Amino acid sequence: MAGDGGRRRGGRRGEGREEGKERRRRNGNTEEAGNVSGRGRSGAGRRPVSKDPMMSHASRVRSGRGDAPVLEEEKVDIAVQMSRFWEAVVGVQQQREALRLRRFAYSKDIILHDLTGPGCIPDYRLGVRDSEKSLVGFIAAVPGPHCAGNPEASSAVPMVEINFLCVTSHLRNQGMAPLLIKEITRRVNVNGTFQAIYTAGVPVTAPVCVANYYHRTLNALKLLETEFTYCPPRMSQREFVGRYRMPSTPRLTGFRPMTKKDMPQAQDLLQTYLRQFRFHPEVSKRSFQHKFKHSPGVTQTYVIERDGAVVGFGSFYTVDTQVLQHSKHSVIRAAYLHHCCVADGYGLTRTDMMRDLLIAASASGHDVFNSLNIADNEEFLDTLRFGRGNGKLYYYVFNWKWGAPATARDVAVVLV
Ligand SMILES: CC(C)(COP(=O)(O)OP(=O)(O)OC[C@H]1O[C@@H](n2cnc3c(N)ncnc32)[C@H](O)[C@@H]1OP(=O)(O)O)[C@@H](O)C(=O)NCCC(=O)NCCS
């Protein structure tokens, strides 16, 4: 924190770590618990000290503003609290854009979709509120087995996906993130799971691999007007727009949104494809039905059907980016690739399938299509005019020993 002599891990302003420990040892946590009563509340509002480790850790985290409230842990009831969580995420995500021209706007629907699938556990949605009941920190774990490509253990390992870690801006750099991570780890461990996968846009520790984001312009004019992209030198705006113009209808025979009856075949096709890669999810029937259900605005999933057989599968999810301070546009709608695969023997390529996914994304109002260069995605990126972006994605696996070093090509895992 600026002007605070750097990062503090709890304790009082100007107080050394050991002094702080000693004070807490002397007082137990009672003094801290007294502060739960918060700003403008008297001792009458005191609450008992929690035995919950999260509570006792959390009560040591201070906002660094004099008598600012200590924090209390709360299990976020996803259905009821979602809108407030969303506000917190938006507030946090805004900080990521140095220029404040844009901010991520994960819809409530996609967060809800990701955090409430089969096997999801309410205890794994962990929010921290301040004494004014504002959500100031959040982390979630979503159970799902993954094959983590260790030669000694080729079968799927029970894991959780850690996602939506965020801390409100005025409590950053005070050790809240490790606290949330520690507590979610404890909760997951209690249920007998000891491995986790997570991704981050920044280096945190040694990653399994690093992937790059690639972007395919769909609505060129809008992306130029919002300065999301730039026209290369020696190319007119007209040429640029023409270069990325998409046909209005898909080209492949049998390409259409996936229905419930396609699901068993589509799941087989996808799982067979995913198993080629060292690090991939094992998608159960129920997870597949939840995760890939065609539901525009959240996830769009398409198949190619030939003679009653599902021979192509492709899916993407939607995340909006709010455009700030712009007179004409308020949102850029981005499609993010989940997976795309085709069956052998039908003369189809993944590039064909991806081309139709781009057309479907464009026709359903997406302005840009994003893909990572993981798995074998490199095979279509150039051909379909994806451009390499600045963003990187670091993949981490917690508590898991990898055999040989991995590259992005070994990974077929996409977290929302
Ligand atoms: C990511 C975020 C929660 C970190 O909070 P913070 O207040 O800056 O970090 P804290 O001071 O609490 O903790 C710092 C520690 O957390 C770790 N950390 C930071 N970002 C992390 C991440 N994305 N995943 C895991 N650990 C992370 C750091 O390595 C650091 O550990 P160290 O002290 O041992 O070096 C915060 O910046 C945020 O909310 N960002 C916006 C949302 C976001 O980008 N979330 C991450 C999605 S991947």
CATH code given to domain 209-410: 3.40.630.170
- Ligand 1 mean position, distance from CA 177 (Å): 5
The pick from 17, 204, 319 for probing ligand 1's pocket by mutation, whose C-beta has the most ligand atoms within 8 angstroms, reads 204
Q: Where are the domains of the chain?
A: 72-191, 209-410
User: Within a 10 A sphere around the Cβ of 330, how many other Cβ atoms?
Assistant: 12
Least confident of 102-116, 195-209, 264-278, 331-345: 102-116
Q: Confidence band (pLDDT; 50, 70, 90) for 84?
A: low
Name the residue of 85, 169, 172, 393 to mutate for ligand 1: max ligand atoms within 8 A of Cβ: 172
Centre of ligand 1 from the C-alpha of residue 188, in Å = 19
| Mean pLDDT for the stretch of residues 113-120 | 88
Helix/strand/coil (H, E, C) string of 185-228? HHHHHHCCCCEEEEEECCCCCCCCEEEEEEEEECCHHHHHHCCC
Rounded Cα–Cα distance for residues 317 and 110 (Å): 8
Among the listed residues 315, 336, 298, the one whose alpha carbon sits nearest the alpha carbon of residue 262: 315
Write b or e for each residue in 359-380: b if 16 or more Cβ atoms lie within 10 A of its Cβ, otherwise e.
bbbbeeebbbbbbbbbbebeeb
Measured distance CA(113)–CA(290) in Å, rounded:
8
| pLDDT at residue number 100 | 53
Alpha-carbon span 60 to 337, nearest angstrom: 41
Segment 196-244, tens digit of pLDDT = 999 999 899 999 999 999 999 999 999 999 988 889 999 999 999 999 9
Looking at residue 170, its pLDDT comes to 84
Measured from the Cα of 171, ligand 1's closest atom is 7
Q: Which atom of ligand 1 is nearest to the CA of 92?
A: 41
Mean pLDDT across 392-399? 94
Residue pLDDT, tens place only, 273-312: 999 999 999 999 999 999 999 999 999 999 999 999 999 9
* Nearest atom in ligand 1 to 7's CA: 11
pLDDT tens-digit readout, 344-382: 999 999 999 999 999 999 999 999 999 999 999 999 999
Non-local CB neighbours of 306 within 8 Å, separated by 6+ positions: 253, 254, 346
Listed range (127-136, 366-375, 394-403) with the worst mean pLDDT: 127-136
Q: What is the 229 CA–ligand 1 centroid distance (Å)?
A: 28
Q: What architecture does CATH give domain 72-191? A: 3-Layer(aba) Sandwich (3.40)
pLDDT interval class at 260 (50, 70, 90): very high
Which residue would you say has higher pLDDT here, 81 or 148?
A: 148
- Segment 83-105 shows an average pLDDT of 53
The tokens describing 298, both together, are 């959240």
Domains 72-191 and 209-410 share a fold: yes
Q: Does an H or E element contain 57, and which? A: helix 53-58
Q: Strand 368-372 to strand 331-342: parallel, antiparallel, or no bridges (unpaired)?
A: parallel
Residue 363 tokens read as: 């026709």
Which tens digits make up the pLDDT trace of 157-178?
899 999 988 888 888 899 999 9
E strand residue ranges, 54-208: 72-75, 102-105, 125-129, 135-143, 146-148, 159-167, 195-200
| Cβ(254)–Cβ(304) below 8 Å | yes
Region 110-116: mean pLDDT is: 85
Q: Which residues line ligand 1 (CB under 6 A)?
A: 7, 92-93, 96, 165-167, 172-178, 200-201, 204
Give the model's confidence band at 78: pLDDT under 50 very low, under 70 low, under 90 confident, else very high.
low
**Would you say residue 106 has pLDDT above 90?**
no
* Mean pLDDT computed over every residue of the chain: 79
Helices and strands of the chain, counted as H and E runs = 12, 15
Question: Which of 42-46, 66-70, 90-94, 106-110 has the lowest average pLDDT?
Answer: 42-46
| Helix axis angle, 108-115 to 78-94, nearest 10° | 120
Which residue out of 61, 93, 136, 166 has the highest number of ligand 1 atoms within 8 Å of its CB and is therefore the one to mutate?
A: 166
Please name the residue whose Cα sits nearest to atom 7 of ligand 1. 172
Q: Label residue 99 exposed, middle or buried (CB < 10 Å: 0-12, 13-18, 19+).
A: exposed
State the Cα–Cα distance between residues 186 and 58, nearest whole angstrom. 14
User: Where is 280: in which H helix or E strand?
Assistant: strand 279-281
CA angle 143, 353, 333 (to 5 degrees): 65
Beta-bridge mates of residue 256: 303
Question: What average pLDDT does range 84-109 have in this prediction?
Answer: 57
Q: What burial letters (b/e) apply to 270-289, b meaning 16+ CB within 10 Å?
A: bbebbeebbbbbbbbeebbb
How far, in Å, is the centroid of ligand 1 from the Cα of 165? 8
